[in-house]
Structure 1
Amino acid sequence: MMAVKQIACAAVALWLVAGGARAQEGFPFGTEMTLEALPQPGSKRIPNIEIGDNGEVMLELWCKGGKGQFSVAGNTVIFVPGQIQDRSCPPAKAQADDDLVAALGSVETWKRQGDVLMLVGPKPLRFRVNGN
């Protein structure tokens, strides 16, 4: 009888762990993430996004910054950029920022593997959850 209880407890624990893992594989609302990319020459800065609980986004790009909004339904995602601040950026950084915003705006689907969010579109983007 004791072995049955131990097996049942182990099964419940495994079910809880597996359920938690699946929950973590959802779209990363309420998360700050960094683009998997190299910094621009002369800078250590790498773009990051902070995704709010309702999909609102704060962007910090190579030079510019701004807001946007993610809308998610299943594995479909739409990014709508908001106001982007031009911070007197050098032309190369300004172009890289504009290209990144355009790439975000063209994503169609998303996948998540652990701490990595993959935004799939004409130019795939990979973001990694920032550790504390």
Structure 2
Amino acid sequence: MKTECVGDYVKLKGKTYPCTVSLTMDLVGGKWKAVILYHLKDEAKRYNELRKEMPSVTEMTLSLQLKQLEKDGLVSRKVHGKKPPIKVVYSLTDFGKSFVPVLEAITQWGNKVVSEKGEFVNGQLP
């Protein structure tokens, strides 16, 4: 049996997918999940650090995506302290770290596309 998308179904944590690409996109797809993983690939960060590095994501979206990434086992959330102000730190799990080579390939491809067809711009998004 082939393991890539050929029509057989795959299962993970009780959820069925038509193929492994579908499973992968469920875990890391969408506008922000891969971006969050990218920002956590080198070091653990607090929520506000992530917000500063991704100014165009809304607080609600960032919070929801972090919760989903944590639920799927890609991101770990550690709470330090018992009473306010508590410190919450997000980091990649070993499972999340296994996606780093894919993130690096996406980054290289994106840089190539911009170099060939677009431009790098300094400043803020419009």
- Greater CA radius of gyration, 1 or 2? 1
Same fold, judged at TM 0.5 (above): no
Structure ranking higher in strand proportion = 1
TM normalised by structure 1 equals 0.25
TM normalised by structure 2 equals 0.26
